């Protein structure tokens, strides 16, 4: 049941339905680190970046894709280390997603 709930929330949180019934994607979940979610939003603004959030709203931070530096938000140093590790392991994919899906 927990797995089904995760996938339902993933789909519902990533889409928006317009009044004419058109459904389009808003964001993409790119990974999880414990309770942290790594996301990018479609048609987002520069500089290239990704968002780190928790379901309970205790963390809402933005990091630059260029060097994984914190742009805004508050996040503990332990979680920053986790994000930096995720970034180092996945930066090629993160840049690919930004270039393919975010930049129009």
Do residues 73 and 62 make contact, with C-beta atoms less than 8 angstroms apart? yes
19 lies in some domain: no
Q: Note the pLDDT of residue 42.
A: 77
Find, among 98, 86, 90, 100, the residue nearest to 40 by Cα. 98
24 lies in some domain: no
5 lies in some domain: no
16 lies in some domain: no
8 lies in some domain: no
Whether the full predicted model's pTM is greater than 0.85, yes or no, is no
Count: domains in the chain: 1
4 lies in some domain: no
- Please state the rounded mean pLDDT for residues 29-47: 87
1 C-beta neighbours (distance < 10 Å), count:
5
Question: Could you tell me the residue range of the domain that residue 95 belongs to?
Answer: 29-102
Residue 91 to residue 65: CA distance in whole angstroms: 8
């Amino acid at each position: 049941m927990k797995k089904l709930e995760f996938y339902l929330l993933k789909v519902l949180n990533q889409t928006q339905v317009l009044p004419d019934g058109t459904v389009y994607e808003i964001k993409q979940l790119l990974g999880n680190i414990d309770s942290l979610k790594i996301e990018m939003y479609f048609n987002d603004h520069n500089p290239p970046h990704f968002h780190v959030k928790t379901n309970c709203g205790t963390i809402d931070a933005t990091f630059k894709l260029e060097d994984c530096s914190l742009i805004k938000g508050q996040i503990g140093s332990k979680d920053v280390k986790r994000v930096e590790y995720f970034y180092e392991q996945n930066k090629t994919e993160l840049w690919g997603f930004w270039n393919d899906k975010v930049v129009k």
